Amino acid sequence: MTSSRQWLTGAARALPFFYAAIVIVLVWEVVVLLTKPDPSILPPPLEVAWTFGHLASDGELAVHTAYSVARVFSAWLLSAVIAIPLGLLMGNSRSLERIINPFVELLRPISPLAWIPMAILWFGIGESGKVFVVFIGTFFPILLSTIAGAKGVDPVLLHAGQVFGCTTRLSLFRRVVVPAALPNIVVGLRVAFGTGWAAIIAAELVAAHSGLGYLIANGMDILRADQVLVGMIAIGVLGFLFDTFFRYLQAHYGRAAR
């Protein structure tokens, strides 16, 4: 009974997204029927679905997706490994924050896309350059969310921690500050994955031979709007799935932290 209710709740939540997808396809089809554009400008949904099926069945879409996901994931992980401890320390130490914050504020406004030429010069044409660009895009959201999480711990929690035996600063940090900052950290990780996803597409547009960004750029070069749209749809669907996953984590860790 519980599982069928859960299934129904899940289906009810997914319904608006199906509705949105159907409306988009219907509007798209109507526009094609009414305006009869050249397929190189706007192909009909069926043609794009066929190309999607073709690219999926011959494995090309999976390869490009895997490259993009792997690049984003490795950069995001690297950012998390550096930004979370650094953010927790900065959130707990005013002097450290005073030292590091000017660097953060100077570098943070520079778009990851602006780093692409330098990334090619410094890291060459391999994977490191693309990972570096995504790293820039993912590092700051995680760092800032972690700092906010660590600084925003309720003083009541800190006091309760001391009462319940966290006598040293380290134990208070480990047993109260870190768990209390966790919801913010997860928000940062979620936002960072989104920005990383946007950055990788741009990085792959410039110097790559694989990835969804490359698939789109290549489609533009050879007048294959159907291929461009397949790349865009894949990005949209993957972005939605990752965001759903992070929302679940956020809800889960939010409850755990409470």
Partner 1 sequence: MAAIRLERGAFLYLCGMLPALFASGPAVAQQEVNYGVQPDTDPSFIAKALGYFDPIEKKHNVKIVFREFAYGAPENQAMAAGALQVASAGMGPATIAVSRLPAKLVAINILEQTAILVPKDSPLKSPCDLKGKAVAYPGEGSQQYPLLLKALSKCGLSASDIKLFKSSGPDIPTLVMNKSVDAGITWDPSISVGLASGKVRLLAKAEQIMPIMGGHYVGNGVYVRNEFLEQHKDIVQELVTANVMAVNYILCHPKEAAKLWSEQIRIKQEIIQLSLDQGISVYSLNVIPTEETMTAYTKFLKDAKILKPDDTPKIDPSFATKALQEVKSGKTCMETGPSR
Distance CA 143, CA 84 (A): 6
Check residue 192 for interaction with partner 1 (CB under 8 A).
no
Contact 80, 146 (CB under 8 A): no
Contact 67, 127 (CB under 8 A): no
Q: Which of 217, 229, 230, 234 binds partner 1 (CB under 8 A)?
A: 217
Question: Which tokens in the block code for residue 246?
Answer: 């992070």
Least Å distance between CB 125 and partner 1? 4
Please tell me whether residue 35 binds partner 1 under the rule CB under 8 A. Answer: no
Q: Which of 223, 237, 241, 251 binds partner 1 (CB under 8 A)?
A: 223
The alpha carbon of residue 101 and the mean position of all alpha carbons in its chain are separated, in whole angstroms, by 24
Farthest CA pair distance, the chain: 73
Looking at the Cβ atoms of 206 and 257, the one nearer to partner 1 is 206
- Chain-centre distance for alpha carbon 167: 38
- We find the least distance from the C-beta atom of residue 218 to partner 1, in angstroms, to be 5
The answer to whether residue 117 forms part of the interface with partner 1 (CB under 8 A) is no
Cα 89 from Cα 252, distance rounded (Å):
24
- Closest to partner 1 by CB, 13 or 36: 36
Which residues make Cβ contacts (< 8 Å) with residue 148, sequence separation at least 6? 91, 184
The residue within the footprint of partner 1, chosen from 2, 34, 38, 163 (CB under 8 A), is 38
How many chain residues interact with partner 1 (CB under 8 A)?
17
Candidates 1, 168, 222, 258: give the one binding partner 1 (CB under 8 A): 222
- Chain positions contacting partner 1, by CB under 8 A: 38-41, 124-125, 206-209, 217-218, 220-224
